[in-house]
Amino acid sequence: MNRREFLEKSGCGMGCLITASTESEPQNPPAKPPQYKMDIEIFEARQDTWCHKKGDKFEYPKDMAKICPWLMGSMHDMLILLQRGTTLPWRYEKTPYEKVIDPNGITTEYVRCPDPTANLVAKITRTKVG
């Protein structure tokens, strides 16, 4: 049994992808994914914190080396998701962290640093460009 037959019979759904990609009909190129500008602002921080102050601003990915590794580690997956166009549905309504979710413009997300002494929250703002 060849690979295509195996995948078609296995029910994993990959057989149709292989068949579709090997047919001789011309295919439309995939649509270009949207491009985003990503900004990070320190939304909340203790007055005496050692790393970041409330209001500090950073651009992603340009300023990543300027961000505390603990905060960067907690933001990493969220940044990747947002950069790829994912929008997480929860809104944190009626809290200081209420999100903006606009599929045609700006989306925000909040991430807390795992350092228990920092009380540090970053606000990530994704803006659609182009």
Contact 80, 62 (CB under 8 A): no
Q: What is the pLDDT of residues 5-41, one digit of tens each?
A: 655 655 555 444 444 444 555 677 777 878 999 999 9
Mean pLDDT estimate for the chain: 85
- Exposure string for 51-69, b = 16+ CB within 10 A, e = fewer: bbeeebebebeeeeeebbe
Q: Is the pLDDT of residue 44 over 80?
A: yes
Q: Structure pTM?
A: 0.75
pLDDT in tens, 96-115: 999 999 988 999 999 999 98
Residue carrying the six token digits 């590794």: 69
pLDDT given at position 50 = 83
Nearest to residue 84, comparing CAs of 60, 100, 68, 65?
Answer: 60
pLDDT, position 110? 97
The SS3 call for residue 108 is strand
Residue 17: how many other CB atoms lie within 10 Å: 11
- Mean pLDDT for the stretch of residues 110-128: 94
In the chain, domain spans? 1-30, 35-129
